[in-house]
Amino acid sequence: MAIDPIRHETFPVEALRAEFPALQNAQSTVFFDNAAGAQVPGRVLDAVNRHLLEHNVQRGGRYPQSLAVDATITRARAHVAAFLNARRPEEVAFGMNATSFIRTVSLAIGQMLGKRDEIIVTDLDHEANVATWLALQGMGARIRWWRMREDGRLHPDDLRPLLGARTRLVACTLASNALGSVVEVRTVAELAHAAGAELFVDAVHYGPHGPIDVQALGCDYLVCSGYKIFAPHMGFLWGRYAALAALPTFREDFIPDEPPGKIEAGTFIYENVAGMTAAVDYLGALGRRLAGRSCDPEPDGLQKDCHIAMQGIQAYERTLSSALLDMLHARGAVIYGSADASRVNERVPTVCFNLPGRSPAEVVTAAADAGIGIRDGHMYAPRLMQRLGLALETGAVRVSLSHYNTLEEIDRLDAVLERLTAG
């Protein structure tokens, strides 16, 4: 279900900000480092506290508190499956973080190479979705590089000649955590599958910025981090059920060799999974609000509600992206990747830049002194920094916005950059 385009005048940003305690407790602070982790709604805090207070026990028992943990996990799987439009909840596995899941899958793929021994990686990705695959060279994998173009984007046409009878898997991001560039994953999936290969998608950075529909994307595996999507620190992996079932993974003997248990080695943090459920509930409520419906969810309507919410967030954030890019142009910043404010549909509101004559550390420190949290450095993407000609020790400045940020906050950053450029 599509909704009308959301403009900054109609998106309920102030009402939504009121749902985030951190934004109320630190009213003078501007959180522009959301790529490193987002703030959480009050209902998420409540869910975590409720779990710890009422059933902070191990699952698998016969007493009420333990049965409640089982129910919490079952509900969380169903919620995340709805958020992703997965075919079944068993395709969702919970764990510590996205990196550990990428490593779990990469180790399994390394044991299944055979004649298909080529892994394609990119120089746009977070290092977690590069180094984990490079490590398979010790298991006989051959690495091929899908290179970013000068526009800061991965182009499917450049992938075509890399694919062949030896391709086992393509690993790429859905959106760059440094440049904000969005990748045409659906096209990538079609190309990979036509060559008989699989596609692994890192959706960690894209997760809070737009709809994720794993069936529409056509990928085989996808990872996210809950703490980027308004939940506590945790990660989750989605995979096609048949693909997950085929993976040789570590598990204790008493764990059945089937998803999702075979993917979830050890105990994960149940209270944080409860918080992830509440984060999806927050998005569902936002979707119903944007659609003009009551706050009561329809039966089996959570997937639709989340999709509407993410459409609305995406549309509003494009207004923020455009304003941020215009401001940086006005301050003479060197913007890395796409700097065209008219093409914000190709990005999320994450921008890396530098100010001529000012080090990244200077810019970030000046912003911090003004109560604005931004970041400098290599953004865990050292190969990308190398492509951009930037030293790892200094890197760039990154501003990463979320749907609870405002145009007025961008104006506050503009005032800081104005002082720096004038000085």
Residue 297, pLDDT above cutoff 80? no
What does the pLDDT average to over 89-105? 97
Rounded to whole angstroms, how far apart are CA atoms 401 and 313?
A: 11
Q: Which residue has the higher pLDDT, 255 or 245?
A: 245
**359 shares a domain with 339:** yes
**209 shares a domain with 99:** yes
Residue 9 confidence class, pLDDT cut points 50, 70, 90: low
Rounded to whole angstroms, how far apart are CA atoms 127 and 232?
A: 22
- Give CA angle at 50 (49, 56), nearest 5°: 90
Quick one: tokens of 219?
Answer: 């990928």
Residue 161, CA distances (Å) to 97, 147, 151 in order: 33, 12, 20
Specify whether the CB–CB gap between 242 and 87 falls below 8 A. Answer: no
Domain assignment of residue 3, yes or no? no
What does the pLDDT average to over 379-391? 96
Residue 2 confidence class, pLDDT cut points 50, 70, 90: very low
Quick one: tokens of 80?
Answer: 């995340």
Q: Within 13 A of 403's CA, how many CA atoms are on the CB side?
A: 32
User: Please, what is the average pLDDT of the chain?
Assistant: 95
Identify the pLDDT of residue 138: 95
Quick one: tokens of 121?
Answer: 């990686």
Give 311-338 pLDDT, tens digit per residue.
Answer: 999 999 999 999 999 999 999 999 999 9
Identify the pLDDT of residue 26: 77
Burial (CB < 10 A; 0-12, 13-18, 19+), residue 295, is: exposed
User: Which of 193, 156, 152, 157 lies closest to 175 in space, CA to CA?
Assistant: 152
Domain assignment of residue 64, yes or no? yes
In the chain, the percentage of residues whose pLDDT exceeds 90 is 93
What does the pLDDT average to over 242-253? 94
Identify the pLDDT of residue 162: 98
Amino acid at 72: T
Identify the pLDDT of residue 296: 74
DSSP string, 317-329: HHHHHHHHHHHHH
Q: Is 379 left (phi over 0), alpha (psi -120 to 50) or beta?
A: left
Identify the pLDDT of residue 25: 87
Identify the pLDDT of residue 1: 34
Domain assignment of residue 209, yes or no? yes
In the chain, the percentage of residues whose pLDDT exceeds 70 is 98
**247 shares a domain with 138:** yes
Identify the pLDDT of residue 27: 80
**136 shares a domain with 256:** yes
**166 shares a domain with 19:** no
Alpha helices, H only, 228-301: 241-246, 270-290
Identify the pLDDT of residue 3: 40
Rounded to whole angstroms, how far apart are CA atoms 121 and 312?
A: 32
Q: Is the bond preceding residue 256 a cis peptide, omega within 30 degrees?
A: no
Beta-carbon contacts of residue 53 (< 8 Å; ≥ 6 apart): none
**Strands 372-373 vs 30-31: parallel, antiparallel or unpaired:** parallel
**231 shares a domain with 117:** yes
What does the pLDDT average to over 186-213? 98
**262 shares a domain with 361:** no
Quick one: tokens of 123?
Answer: 């120089």
What does the pLDDT average to over 116-139? 97
**109 shares a domain with 253:** yes
Residue 7, pLDDT above cutoff 80? no
**112 shares a domain with 20:** no
Identify the pLDDT of residue 4: 46
What does the pLDDT average to over 97-115? 96
Q: Which residue has the higher pLDDT, 276 or 25?
A: 276
Amino acid at 20: F
Q: Within 13 A of 14's CA, how many CA atoms are on the CB side?
A: 5
Specify whether the CB–CB gap between 89 and 77 falls below 8 A. Answer: yes
Specify whether the CB–CB gap between 122 and 154 falls below 8 A. Answer: yes
What does the pLDDT average to over 265-277? 95
Whole-prediction pTM: 0.95
Identify the pLDDT of residue 5: 45
Q: Is 418 left (phi over 0), alpha (psi -120 to 50) or beta?
A: alpha
Strand locations in 96-214 (E): 118-122, 142-146, 167-173, 198-202
Count of domains in the chain?
Answer: 2
What does the pLDDT average to over 82-86? 98
Identify the pLDDT of residue 419: 96
Comparing 34-43, 252-261, 302-311, which segment has the lowest mean pLDDT? Answer: 252-261
The CATH number assigned to the domain holding 333 equals 3.90.1150.10
Domain assignment of residue 30, yes or no? yes
Identify the pLDDT of residue 339: 95
Domain assignment of residue 351, yes or no? yes
Rounded to whole angstroms, how far apart are CA atoms 226 and 235?
A: 5
Residue 28 confidence class, pLDDT cut points 50, 70, 90: confident
**233 shares a domain with 99:** yes
Identify the pLDDT of residue 252: 87
Residue 8, pLDDT above cutoff 60? no
Residue 275, pLDDT above cutoff 50? yes
**67 shares a domain with 35:** no
